[in-house]
Amino acid sequence: MQRLQCRDLLDLYELLVVNDVDAEAMWPLFERKARHRDREPGRFAESFDNRVPRWEERWDGELIEYATSPPEFDGVLRSVRRELRFAFG
């Protein structure tokens, strides 16, 4: 995760929650891609948590371009964290 765009969190929500993609099964692909981009996959949780305040501030304003009524931020965040709980230790 390199960008700070709210769309990234929304994309995770769509993949993991709405489309029921198995995050744990896909994790090795994420790790490989992160290493390819010289990122440390073990820092995912820290990086994710650092982005949350900025995502929350910009959620409605930024996502209005993609959805006329974006889903509630707290619900999206809670659902994504639940799907990624294995990555948060």
Q: Is residue 83 part of a domain?
A: yes
Q: Which residue, among 89, 61, 87, has the nearest Cα to 1 in the 3D structure?
A: 87
Q: Is residue 54 part of a domain?
A: yes
Q: What average pLDDT does range 59-75 have in this prediction?
A: 91
At 73, which amino acid appears?
F
Q: Which residue, among 64, 87, 85, has the nearest Cα to 10 in the 3D structure?
A: 64
Query: What confidence tier does 1 reach under pLDDT thresholds 50, 70, 90?
Result: low
Q: Is residue 73 part of a domain?
A: yes
The pTM of the full predicted model, rounded to 2 decimals, is: 0.89
Query: What confidence tier does 65 reach under pLDDT thresholds 50, 70, 90?
Result: confident
Q: Which domain holds residue 79?
A: 6-88
Q: Is residue 48 part of a domain?
A: yes
C-alpha span between 5 and 34 (Å, rounded): 18
**Residue 2 pLDDT:** 57
Q: Is residue 1 part of a domain?
A: no
Across the chain, mean pLDDT equals 92
Long-range Cβ contact pairs of 75-80 (< 8 A, separation 24 or more):
76/9, 76/10, 76/13, 76/17, 77/9, 77/52, 79/13, 79/16, 79/17, 80/9, 80/12, 80/13, 80/16, 80/17
